Structure 1
Amino acid sequence: MGTSIFITIFSFFIILSPVKSQKTDAFDSIAGYFKASDSRNISGHFAPLIEMNILMDENEYSKAQAELILRDFLSKNKPVSVKVIHRLNSSPNYRFAVLSLQSANSKFRVSISMAKDGEMFYIKVIRIEYDKG
C-alpha cells in the first residue's frame, strides 16, 4: 500500500514538473559569445576553412587564423549588446543568422552562415559590416 502511494505521488510530480523540450539554438550561444568578446568559443563553431569578410576585408582563413582576426576585431570594437535579429533554420543542411552588434562607438551587422558536415553544423562564412540602418 505504501509503495503504491509513493508511485502515485512520484508520478504526479513528474507529470507536473516543467520539461525543457527546446534546446538552445546555436545562434543564441554564438550571440552570447560575441557579447562576451569570446572569440575562442565562437571559433569552436568554425569549419576548418572559413570565409571572413570584416569591414570589406575578405579572405579565406584557417580556423586558427580566423579566431585571431575575430579576436582583433572584438578587442577594437568591444560589444555592448548583441542580439539575433534574423535566423533561418528550416533547411536540414544550412543555417543562417544576422546579429546586431552594438559597440561603444559603432553598430555592426554580423551575418553567419553555417553548413552541416556529418551530424554537426559549422560556421562557413562570417560577414561583419557597419549597420546602415
Structure 2
Amino acid sequence: MKNLLFLLFFAPAVAFANQGNPGLEAISTALNSGDVETLSKYFADNVEISIQDKEQIYSKAKAGDVLRGFFDSNKPKGFSQVHKGTSRENSDQYCIGNLSAATGNYRVYIYLKVTGANMSIQEIRLDKE
C-alpha cells in the first residue's frame, strides 16, 4: 500500500519536472528566429541589454527596439541552448546559449526573474565570439 501511495504522488511530480520550462522554451524559439514580439512578452519593465560591451538599461518598449535593430543587422540563423539553471538564492533562472547569425556567432546570456508562475527577462547579453 505504501508503494502504491508513493507511486501515485511521486510519479506525477517526476513527470511534471521533466516537462521543461515553457517560458524558457518560447524564449529560445524566439531567439532562434529573431522574433522580438515574442521576446518582448517576457521583458521586465526595465531590461538590461548588453551588446558587445555596450550596456544599458532600457524600458520594455525601448528594449524591443534595441533588439529589433540588432536582429535586423544580424539575421539569426539559429539558437541553441548550452546551459540553463536556477540561482541558488531564489528561483530566478538563467540560460546560456549560442546564436548563429549572418554576421557571426554570439554567446547569449539571459537572466530571468521568477515571481510565482510569472517570469520576466531582466538581462540579455550578446557577446560576439
State the identity as a percent. Answer: 28
Moved more, 105-114 or 20-29: 20-29
Deviation readout 1:22-65 (Å, 9 max, x if unpaired): 25442221111011211111011010011111111111100000
Q: Quick check: 1:66 aligned with 2:63?
A: yes
Matched, 1:95 2:93: yes
**AA paired with 1:127?**
R
Q: How many residues align?
A: 112
Q: Which runs of 5+ in 1 are unaligned?
A: 1-19
Aligned to 1:126: 124
Aligned partners of 2:48, 2:115: CA distance in 1, in Å? 16
Q: Choose the corresponding residue for 2:40, options 27, 40, 43.
A: 43
Instruction: Return the letter of the residue paired with 1:60.
Output: I
Is residue 2:112 matched to residue 1:114?
Answer: yes
Q: State whether residues 87 and 94 of structure 2, in contact with CA within 8 Å, keep that contact through their aligned partners in structure 1.
A: no
**Corresponding residue for 1:8?**
none
Deviation at 1:130, TM superposition (A): 0.8
Distance, in Å, in 2 between the alignment partners of 1:80 and 1:72 is 16
Find the counterpart in structure 2 of residue 33 from structure 1: 30
Q: Is the 8 A contact 1:100 1:109 kept in 2?
A: yes
Residue of structure 2 in register with 1:104 after alignment: 102
- Per the alignment, in what secondary structure is the counterpart of residue 31 of structure 2? helix
Is the Cα–Cα contact under 8 Å of residues 28 and 84 in structure 1 kept in the other structure?
A: no
* 2:91 counterpart of 1:86: no
Q: Does 1:57 align with 2:54?
A: yes
CA distance in 2, matches of 1:67, 1:52: 10
Given residue 107 of structure 2, which amino acid in structure 1 is its aligned partner? R
CA distance in 1 between partners of 2:82 and 2:38 (Å): 21
Choose 1 or 2 for highest CA Rg. Answer: 1
